[in-house]
A and B are shown apart, each in its own frame.
Chain A
Amino acid sequence: MLKVEHVTKYYDDFLAVDDLSFEVKPGEIFGLLGVNGAGKTTTFRMIMGLIDANSGSITLDGKKIGYDVTDKIGFLTEERSLLTKMTVKEQCLFYGNLKGMDNETILARLDELLKRFEITEYKDKKIKELSKGNQQKIQFITAILNNPKLLILDEPFSGLDPFNVELFKKIIIEMSEKGSMIIFSSHRMEHVELFCKKLVILVKGKTVISGYLSDIKEKYRKKNILIKGDVDIDKIKQIDGVISIEKRATELEVKIKDMSVADDVFKVVSKGKNISKFEIVEPSLNEIFISKVGETYEK
């Protein structure tokens, strides 16, 4: 289990991460979210042991992360961390050897992954000759080459088309099912929502939301009501607790401050005609993220 406990990191006087705590158990996919400069990369670097925290502790299976355990970790950085003059094969051999793997195992695993990503023809091509998307695939391959126990993915879908996003998702889920701990960061909340059971949202180094996604959504009082049919929009707007009404292609989305408002909305909707849908739904993570990040920035 990865345990991050009360970790704080300063760069001179700048507070990059403030009292951050979370746990990731085997088989869990954990989301670390935040806008640029929130402290995500600093947190990843601290987990990888690249930089030291000013206070707090980070342990993997109860031990401090050092160079004796990095062979069990896979790391995909936000920016391309590939030596572009190398060929795909050379690059994988290089990073694989640094993970303590032997050449035979690396090449066997590489063949398997290249086949999986349908890019076997690039094995002897130089990385600089590959497209951005294919470079990202190679970077992902180098991160999972050693079947890591802990996999850190910083913006893994950057530069990928929807088809390859699906492929990445599939592999990430497979790895989680096999027991890998996965920490994941993305600006795309729909990706996080699909994967992560647990998450932390950072704003300027501070934790603004932390916990299981279901609990977070449960605690978030605001709800959305989806309505299909002819209703009196003005009357709904006048209801106390209705935040906003948004017209979509075939339906209305009414945002309410909490569940108590839903009854009043239902009363108005029931007087309408051709009503085929009245559904109370949880807000999306994106909505919660924008709401929380906005609140924190305003403070």
Chain B
Amino acid sequence: MKSKLNYLIGISLKRKIKSKWFVIVNIILAIAIVGIINIDSIINFFGGDFSQKQSIYVIDNTNEAYDILNTQLGSIDTLLESDESSFELKKYDSSEEDAKKLIEENKKNIVVVLYSDEENIMSAKIISQNTMDMINYQTLVTAINNTKISLAIQKSNIPLEEINKIYSNTDIKREILNEDASSDDENMQMIMTTVFPIIILPFFMLSIFLVQMIGAEVNDEKTTRGMEIIISNVSPKTHFFAKVFAGNFFVLIQGLLLILFAALGFFIRYITGGNSIVNGLGAEVGNIVNSILSSGIGDKLIYIIPLTLLLMIMTFVGYSLLAGVLASMTTNTEDFQHVQTPIMIISLVGYYLATMSGVFKGAIFIKILSYVPFISAILSPSLLVLGEIGIVDIIISLVIMFITNVLFVKYGLKIYKAGILNYSSKGLWKKMLKAMKSK
């Protein structure tokens, strides 16, 4: 049995890896991943400039607000922990009409006109060719408002000492009554919302590849009736496990290829823009790692990483077992697409729940959902990093997933044996139940 099992695994993998679609999909993935990692270089190559600052021409009719506005924009950048300001402020001593010509010359230019206003101290006008980026607009509006406050303070004859006190940052002490939580969790939530979807996307993608691969292969063998010859030479059990192993090896190879494409992307980035990888992305990664470590989870990573990986592997095994069972009962790829849709929807729900995991803070239902097979592999790690669940919960998810897989093997094999030579889609669920009840 062992040698025929190995042979079937090998032939299954070979058929998949040698197929045109595998090559095409991986070429597209490689281009996409390398491209995304080097998107700034690509834009620069085609004439764009990521590092180009937005020029803001300021017509200061108050004769005192320009310097304050410049300082305020700098303060906002400091507050946002931004290494470089995205604006370049230029004082413009000419008319508003002339300034509009600057916009005609470069459509990205922005003109800010500051007016003295006896009633409201200061008013302003922002002129641009098109609508502005929301964050840039809000930053500029905040800086103008702060400039107005500064002017008001200056005009109120408040002593310098008091002015410094007003401008100094408020001393905010943070106290969280939940001993398990820390203030760093608040930063983590933001990071998880933005970074985690990117990390779990490959898992989600690979699970779809896995289900599709097994379904397509079993159905190909069934529709061509090659299954009759295969099953007359190897037992359905051997055939079933061959598909499961081949599917998981395929996922492993595809996963390694994704890592390889990402490494290639970073290597190209290193060659074409070594500095920006250190200052830009390196700093971002550093921030995330620091946030994770400062949340106190660092000590537990030695348990979390293997447990999460184990949960993911067991979920892949679960997907492959289920895909094999469902494929055995269907007679063509179209039927298989129908029966596997609910599983894909459950997985998709898990993906969205994981991306929004920070929103459901403390909700019991999200904790319960993190135990649900297929959802658990995506949802549990995000909740664990956010401190919503503990290692015990991951172990519970693992146990539930293990039991699910055992049940899939026990009852799934019976269904597989009955279904693999079934060529009728009539009474599908009835046949499944009957097979499960058989000895």
Contact = CB atoms under 8 A, between A and B. Distances in A.
A80 B224 CA distance: 7
A98 B421 contact: no
A49 B232 contact: yes
A48 B232 contact: yes
A79 B331 CA distance: 15
Q: DSSP class of A's interface residues: helix, strand, loop or mixed?
A: loop
Contact of A83 (B1, B221, B232, B235): B221
A141 interface: no
A83 B7 contact: no
A75 B229 contact: yes
B278 to A, nearest CB: 48
Interface residues of A, number: 26
A95 B224 CA distance: 14
Name the residue among B15, B229, B234 with the largest chain A CB count within 10 angstroms: B229
Nearest to B238: A67
Interface in A74-118: 75, 77, 79-86, 94-95, 97-100
B280 interface: no
Name the residue among B15, B227, B232 with the largest chain A CB count within 10 angstroms: B232
B415 to A, nearest CB: 15
A115 to B, nearest CB: 23
Given A67-B234, A95-B229, A97-B7, A50 B421 contact: yes
A79 B221 CA distance: 13
A93 to B, nearest CB: 9
Q: DSSP class of B's interface residues: helix, strand, loop or mixed?
A: helix
Nearest to A128: B224
Given A50-B421, A51-B421, A98-B7, A77 B229 contact: yes
A179 B220 CA distance: 36
Contact of B225 (A67, A81, A85, A94): A81
Interface in B217-235: 220-221, 224-235
A106 to B, nearest CB: 12
A114 B231 CA distance: 25
Contacts of B361: none
B263 interface: no
A82 B232 contact: no
A81 B235 contact: no
B181 interface: no
B23 to A, nearest CB: 15
A50 B220 contact: no
A136 interface: no
A280 to B, nearest CB: 45
A100 B235 CA distance: 14
B224 A75 contact: no
Contacts of A50: 228, 231-232, 421
A83 B233 contact: no
Contacts of B410: none
A186 interface: no
A73 interface: yes
A21 interface: no
Given A67-B235, A98-B7, A79 B229 contact: no
A49 B1 CA distance: 16
B234 A82 contact: no
A97 B224 CA distance: 19
A83 B234 contact: no
Contacts of B1: 67
A70 B232 contact: yes
Contacts of A180: none
B107 interface: no
B436 to A, nearest CB: 16
Nearest to A142: B229
Interface in B338-392: none
Nearest to A84: B224
Interface in A106-165: 142
B228 A75 contact: yes
A45 interface: yes
Given A45-B421, A50-B421, A99 B224 contact: no
A77 B220 contact: no
B225 A98 contact: no
Contacts of B232: 48-50, 70, 73, 75
B90 interface: no
A151 to B, nearest CB: 13
B439 to A, nearest CB: 11
B11 interface: yes
Name the residue among A50, A71, A100 with the largest chain B CB count within 10 angstroms: A50
Contacts of A83: 220-221, 224, 226
Given A67-B1, A70-B232, A81-B224, 12 more contacts: A48-B232, A51-B421, A67-B235, A81-B225, A81-B228, A81-B229, A82-B224, A83-B226, A85-B220, A95-B229, A98-B4, A98-B233
Interface of A: 45, 48-51, 67, 70-71, 73, 75, 77, 79-86, 94-95, 97-100, 142
30 contacts: A49-B232, A50-B232, A51-B421, A67-B233, A67-B234, A70-B232, A70-B233, A71-B233, A73-B232, A75-B228, A75-B232, A77-B225, A77-B229, A80-B225, A81-B224, A81-B226, A81-B229, A82-B226, A83-B220, A84-B224, A86-B15, A94-B11, A95-B233, A97-B4, A98-B4, A98-B7, A98-B233, A98-B234, A100-B4, A142-B229
Q: What are the 5 tightest A-B residue pairs by CB atom distance, in nearest-first order?
A: A98-B233, A81-B225, A48-B232, A83-B226, A79-B225
